[in-house]
Chain A
């Protein structure tokens, strides 16, 4: 019984991280219709910042986490300004290719600067300690991860539904031109969206390294892709969808590992992507879009 509970916690922990990253994907896609391949790699940068802050500079864990989130946010905004803004009116394919380029740049740049090896934080964990729940030994990191994820999502929902900036974000994602005519600053809104999405990625990074203790140059790539699958599953462009998708992928991946098929886990996640795209491309909670002829 406690075993099952353990696994449920594992699944939720993994799912929370996927959900946080998926949210960033969904937000950016919702506003400029771009699949930001570089999103996953922002997490990688955030993880490295945390690592170096704690291990090399001996900063307090909380400070390190804050720093990581700030750096992630900044990175996301810079990428948007430098690489995506010039292509605002370009065909979507060009934008997609650029995003792939940025992702590659981050991954290989990190490999160049930090080396291809995995940096480990097991000796100085970010969130040490564990607690006993339902007879199972649950790490505090897991608890914080799940709680932080839920809190972040709640905060995000509040932001999007109740604040002026959130309304601007929704307006821009509905109709870019009309929003501009209403006096909404396109650049500011898009930058803000990237900032929020990247901040969430930063939180995800912190929780990831807190839960799994490791940072490597390629970690963002697979993580980002799977989070993307989560976003698609839940309905890309939908915030509750991203949360739902994230937790779903976390659960499914954990099930695969528990079933002893861990070498297949990536394949299973992509198989889910394919099934979703074929059966209901708009995802569980997404809305279909019709094209005007």
Chain B
């Protein structure tokens, strides 16, 4: 597995804007993601405004907030599904403003979707193989003529795909149609497919949605295991506070499209602004 970070020069300590939290192990390295004053307007509605965030190279970060706060919109901005109206996004120091969604993925950001976007009619294995598309290098002519490069790349990709699937215990379902999998398996498959694209930053949009407590606990372990195995950063959107407080090292709270708090789980847990955003103002004095 290629280690992207090894190819990039270690730079000086980056000044950290506002209360972003970078784990100690990443303090001397360039953050994998930096967002400055990111914002987008839809006609008259400002969905996200002045969004600032820094994520360490192997940090597990959380993005939380009440429904409609703009969390998925932030994901869409990061992956260029929407073009930001203002602000900058730096991916490992690289300005992503001119990139398209597929280019962003090739540069190192992979994501899952709130409503699961699998290739339903294709098999589990094929879903992951599509994630490995850019890891294979034979051209159209190579495919038509079935040159040795084709056979080699396909074999390696197949092995890799099964390896990735086994992390989430899905290897036995490799030939099943993705659309016929149970809900939990579909969510896990989406994560595997995202991992197949060899990202440096993994965006997970409500990965625990619809999961019971034991599945959630398993997911939490898996996310940490992925981070440790692949040495990547993870940014997740979640409503399940056990998960968020359990594995996130840094948390960013969004409400009405703006950041209202940032910090460690302990900071956030007791932050009155956050509590008010979720539960409303306390009546009376």
Contacts and interface: CB of A to CB of B under 8 A. Distances in A.
Task: Indicate yes or no for A touching B, C-beta below 8 A.
Answer: yes
Interface of A: 290, 293
Contacts of B72: 293
A293 B42 contact: no
Interface in B76-92: 76, 81-82
Contacts of B76: 293
B81 A290 contact: no
A293 B81 CA distance: 8
Interface of B: 42, 72, 76, 81-82, 113
* Pairs A-B, 3 closest by C-beta atoms: A293-B81, A293-B76, A290-B42
6 contacts: A290-B42, A293-B72, A293-B76, A293-B81, A293-B82, A293-B113
Contacts of B42: 290
A286 to B, nearest CB: 15
A174 to B, nearest CB: 15
Contacts of A293: 72, 76, 81-82, 113
A293 B82 CA distance: 9
B48 to A, nearest CB: 14
A293 B83 CA distance: 13
A290 B76 CA distance: 13
A293 to B, nearest CB: 5
Nearest to B43: A290
B159 to A, nearest CB: 33
Nearest to A291: B81
A68 to B, nearest CB: 44
B73 to A, nearest CB: 9
A290 B83 CA distance: 13
A163 B72 CA distance: 39
Nearest to B114: A293
A118 B72 CA distance: 60
Contacts of A290: 42
Contacts of B82: 293
A189 B72 CA distance: 35
Nearest to B81: A293
A290 B47 CA distance: 14
A179 to B, nearest CB: 22
Nearest to B75: A293
B256 to A, nearest CB: 18
A290 B42 CA distance: 10
A293 B74 CA distance: 12
A290 B40 CA distance: 14
A2 to B, nearest CB: 49
Nearest to A290: B42
A290 B72 CA distance: 15
A137 to B, nearest CB: 52
B117 to A, nearest CB: 9
A218 to B, nearest CB: 38
B100 to A, nearest CB: 14
B224 to A, nearest CB: 28
A53 to B, nearest CB: 51
A32 B3 CA distance: 50
